[in-house]
């Protein structure tokens, strides 16, 4: 499992975990992110059961287990949060922030000790030991109840499945050549994203945010100018391709 | 298949057998009520039959009670075994994480590893205790069923003493008791064989 610091300051850091070399070939590669402050940390889209031991290993290199007080699930998919039952057995005092829409579904992964903070459709924010992060609505992108995480201080948008690319586990962490990256993400967005209306609404809102890194849950991270290039490309893309016009 | 998986499948199978036994016992309970009505009509000509109906009713009630208790216990056992199955999965993941961690990660994992091992051991003690109780309950019901054979024989003798118009009805009750008790015994044997298989796995 590769680890990379996306942002570091006195108050908090963003860590990327991904490109797991030991991952089975037939499961999709995923990116996980950890925001850590001095006393608390939140793990964003903790990943599937298959990834749990690698994630636990990676996380404990950076924080004490007791420091992991919060988890975030952008939506209900197994590659996002099927490890919940295992985290639940490890964490005594943690809260999962996830869409209200999926509470009854996500609980099927096993939740006895972790609390569920049901995020309303309008989103919300979390004060993590003095660092404020925002839960940005991204409904129908792709899930009908879906959120992203924005950190205005670090200028990072964790964008879930938006910007996702299907790439091999040895791929670079950042997008280096946008034109070459398009084939890795085009089908994903055309097929997984169901609504042009939802897409355009999201782009309009996201364009108003100050973003240095757009960090998706699969594939390479967009940095600097690549963020704008992605938004332009995505805006022009017709999604919902499974329905014949 | 993992030992633990076999454990909770075995418990579910035992509960299923007892559920079948319970359905038959409910029928048997109806039979005993019919038998009581027949005994009343037979009067003194089949006085012994009246005694027998009480026994049939007790047997039916005992089987129903046992099935209910076993079912409650089975639900708890399946729950405990499933929990232990998950704990075992967690333990494997923790062991893997420990193996791949540097010393700082290993130090942070030790407490969790010990807690999980201890939870698995405690769960096994509870599961073994519940399994023993389950075995005893099934054995007790089997013992009670053995006397059903005697009851059937006595019922047949009593039916011969009754008036001709009641004879066939009383014989039918005896047949019913015999058939039902054989079926219940069959399901209890099946349940016991799952328990034995489970014991062999352990």
Contact A57 B112 (CB under 8 A): no
Identify the sign of the CA torsion A51, A67, A211, A4. negative
Contact B112 A60 (CB under 8 A): no
Whether chain B has a CB inside 8 Å of the CB on A108: the answer is no
Percent of chain B with pLDDT over 90: 18
Architecture field, domain A2-236: 4-Layer Sandwich (3.60)
Rounded to whole angstroms, the Cα distance separating A85 from A94 reads 13
Q: Kindly provide the ipTM of the predicted complex, given to two decimals.
A: 0.77
Residue by residue, DSSP assigns A25-61 as TTS----EEEEE-SS-EEEES---GGGHHHHHHHHHT
pLDDT tens track for A141-177 = 999 999 999 999 999 999 999 999 998 878 899 999 9
pLDDT band at B201 (very low <50, low <70, confident <90, very high): low
Domain residue ranges of chain A, discontinuous segments joined by +: 2-236
Q: Give the pLDDT confidence score for residue B14 in this predicted structure.
A: 83
pLDDT tens track for B141-191 = 888 788 778 878 887 887 787 777 778 888 888 888 888 889 988 998 998
B89, B100, B116 member nearest A57 (Cβ): B100
Mutation target for B interface from A1, A51, A54, A60: give the one with most B CBs within 10 A: A60
Mean pLDDT of A39-67: 93
Beta bridge pairs of residue A5: A15
- In 3D, which of A215, A90, A84, A242 has the Cα closest to residue A155? A215
Mean pLDDT of A85-94: 94
pLDDT tens track for A97-107 = 999 999 999 99
Overall number of domains in chain B: 1
Print the domain residue range for B109. 3-201
Q: Give the pLDDT confidence score for residue A42 in this predicted structure.
A: 98
Contact A109, A85 (CB under 8 A): yes
- Segments in chain A forming alpha helices (H): 52-60, 78-81, 84-90, 103-106, 178-192, 196-206, 225-236
């Amino acid at each position: 499992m590769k680890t990379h610091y996306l942002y570091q300051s006195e108050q908090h850091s963003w860590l990327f975990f991904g490109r797991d070399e030991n991952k089975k070939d037939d499961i999709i590669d995923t990116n996980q992110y950890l925001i850590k402050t001095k006393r608390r940390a939140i793990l964003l889209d903790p990943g599937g059961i298959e990834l749990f031991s690698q994630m636990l290993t990676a996380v404990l290199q950076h924080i004490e287990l007791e420091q992991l007080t919060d988890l975030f699930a952008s939506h209900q998919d197994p590659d996002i949060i099927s490890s919940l039952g295992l985290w639940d057995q490890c964490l005594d005092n943690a809260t999962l922030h996830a869409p209200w829409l999926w509470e009854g579904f996500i609980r099927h992964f096993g939740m006895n000790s972790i609390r569920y903070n049901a995020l309303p459709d309008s989103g919300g924010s979390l004060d993590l030991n003095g660092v404020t992060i925002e839960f940005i609505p991204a409904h129908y992108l792709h899930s009908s109840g879906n959120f992203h995480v924005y950190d205005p201080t670090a200028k990072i948008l964790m964008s879930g499945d938006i910007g996702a690319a299907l790439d091999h586990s040895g791929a670079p962490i950042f997008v280096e050549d946008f034109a070459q990256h398009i084939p890795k993400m085009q089908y994903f967005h055309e097929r997984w994203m169901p609504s042009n209306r939802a897409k355009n609404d999201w782009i309009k809102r996201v364009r108003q945010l100050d973003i240095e890194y757009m960090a998706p849950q699969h594939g390479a991270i967009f940095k600097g100018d690549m963020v704008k290039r992605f938004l332009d490309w995505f805006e022009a893309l017709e999604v919902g391709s499974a329905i014949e016009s | 298949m993992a030992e633990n998986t076999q454990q909770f499948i075995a418990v579910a199978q035992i509960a299923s057998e007892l559920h079948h036994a319970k359905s038959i016992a409910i029928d048997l309970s109806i039979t005993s009520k019919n038998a009581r009505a027949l005994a009343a009509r037979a009067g003194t000509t089949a006085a012994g039959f009246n005694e027998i109906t009480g026994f049939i009713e007790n047997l039916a009630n005992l089987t129903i009670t046992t099935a209910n208790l076993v079912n409650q216990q089975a639900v708890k056992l399946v729950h405990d075994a499933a929990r232990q199955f998950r704990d075992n999965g967690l333990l494997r993941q923790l062991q893997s994480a420990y193996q791949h961690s540097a010393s700082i990660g290993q130090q942070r994992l030790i407490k969790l590893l010990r807690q999980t091992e201890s939870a698995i051991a405690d769960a096994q003690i509870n599961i073994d205790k519940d399994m023993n109780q389950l075995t005893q309950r099934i054995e007790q019901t089997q013992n009670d069923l053995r006397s059903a054979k005697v009851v059937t024989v006595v019922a047949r003798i009593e039916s011969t003493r009754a008036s001709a118009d009641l004879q066939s009805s009383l014989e039918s009750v005896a047949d019913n008791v015999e058939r039902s008790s054989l079926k219940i015994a069959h399901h209890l044997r099946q349940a016991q064989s799952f328990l034995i298989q489970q014991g062999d796995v352990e």
